[in-house]
Amino acid sequence: MSNFLGSHAINMDAKGRLAIPAKVREELAQLCGGRIVLTANADEERCLLLYPEPEWEELRPKIEALPNMNKAARRLQRLLLGNAAQMELDSAGRILVPPTLRAHAQLEKKLMLIGLGKKLELWSEERWLAWLDESSDDEDMPPEMEALSL
Amino acid sequence: MSNFLGSHAINMDAKGRLAIPAKVREELAQLCGGRIVLTANADEERCLLLYPEPEWEELRPKIEALPNMNKAARRLQRLLLGNAAQMELDSAGRILVPPTLRAHAQLEKKLMLIGLGKKLELWSEERWLAWLDESSDDEDMPPEMEALSL
DNA sequence: GTGTGCACAAGTGGGAAAAAGTGGTTTCTA
DNA sequence: TAGAAACCACTTTTTCCCACTTGTGCACAC
């Protein structure tokens, strides 16, 4: 079972290639032989989602099955399905990010790769730092969260 | 069961390594063989949290299970999971703090390690001292706290 | 009772080997 | 023909290990 954790600062080269950090690469190798799916994020944060292929294949039917008379559901489908790119790590452990996705998340040279358990998120460093600085609004916190004791 | 107490002033060297105080090191050794998880703190105080691995493994599923269509929950996940680094004390009882975490808590040379029962907190000395000086606002105290008699 | 010194443990720093990341060139394919 | 994939070589970073310095506690002597 996948269990990505931690954040890594990585660079994208002029060709749009980015080297997956060795630790993550290892995990991807034994989890899915380096076969991954990269797609856009659905919520307001403009970042990319990186799934190991098996994890994606579990998620995809659920997205397809959403009742798409609903506007929010249509949005989710268009973003996640419509942007999904299947790819494989090259011999040096790098991936080539498609231009459309690069544009979507406004990726330039400096990026952040964030492990979130079953998936990873890919942010432009600038946006990530800006997001970190945003103040959290404690309002609508789910009850499970209020009960947490860290 | 872990029971860290007390504060220790410690130094980080130029490579980002920091020596865990011998007393804490002992406790960590018999508790988890020196296997720990270091991550960012979720609230506004920019410090790091240090969990013995078993303690973390108890907490992690609860965080992963939060409903992440909720914004506050996503924030917590990105901070805690997205910054978590699993590591082991080296042969000299030191840990290497990853650059991203170093930056997050603005750690420089002088640090404070604070024992808080099941976990430890790691602060830059400067921030720790500044925090001590801050006045607390006694407003919204949870009822369990109001009932305390110190 | 106080001070000095010795010994061991803790903490610090640096260097060498290995691994990871980077960039360019060539080949292939659409 | 342009863009992507594979290949290869170089540079940088990381990790591991060893040696040195500092601090602390205990014992013994004065």
Interacting residues of B82 by C-beta distance below 8 A, sequence separation 6+: A5, A6, A7, A114, A115, A116, A121, B40
Q: Above 80 in pLDDT, residue B124?
A: yes
pTM comes to 0.93
User: Stretch B54-65: mean pLDDT, rounded?
Assistant: 96
- Whether residue B98 is contained in a domain is answered as yes
User: Residues of A with CB below 8 A from B69's CB?
Assistant: 43
Interval B71-106: pLDDT, tens: 999 999 999 999 999 999 999 999 999 999 999 999
Indicate whether B5 pLDDT > 90: yes
What pLDDT score was predicted for residue B134?
A: 86
Question: What tokens were used for B35?
Answer: 């296997």
Please indicate, yes or no, if residue A2 is contained in any of the structural domains: no
Examine the pLDDT at B111 and tell me if it is beyond 90: yes
Largest distance between two CA atoms of chain B: 47
In a domain, A141, yes or no: no
Structure tokens at A79: 């973003």
Cβ-Cβ contacts under 8 Å, B100 against chain A: 6-9, 112
CA distance B82 to A120: 9
For chain A, what is the mean pLDDT? 93
For A142, the closest of B49, B70, B98 (CB atoms) is B70
pLDDT at A78: 94
Provide the token pair at B126: 């400067």
SS3 A16: coil
Whole-number pLDDT of residue B22? 94
Looking at residue A23, what is its pLDDT?
95
Domain count, chain B: 1
Q: Do B81 and A141 touch (CB under 8 A)?
A: no
Q: What is the pLDDT at residue B138?
A: 67
Domain extent for A106 = 7-136
Whether B149 is in a domain gets the answer no
CA–CA separation, A89 and A94 (whole Å): 5
CATH number at residue B89: 3.40.1550.20
Does residue A38 lie within any of the structural domains? yes
Mean pLDDT of A86-115: 94
For residue B146, what pLDDT is reported? 86
In a domain, A59, yes or no: yes
**Is position B97 within any domain?**
yes
What pLDDT was estimated at residue B117? 93
H-only helix segments in chain B: 22-32, 53-64, 71-80, 99-104, 125-133, 143-146
B144 assigned to some structural domain:
no
Percent residues over pLDDT 90 in chain B? 79
Protein-covered nucleotides on strand C (Cβ within 7 A): 9-15, 19-24
Q: What is the pLDDT of residue A134?
A: 86
User: Is residue A116 a contact partner of residue B78, using CB atoms and an 8 Å limit?
Assistant: yes
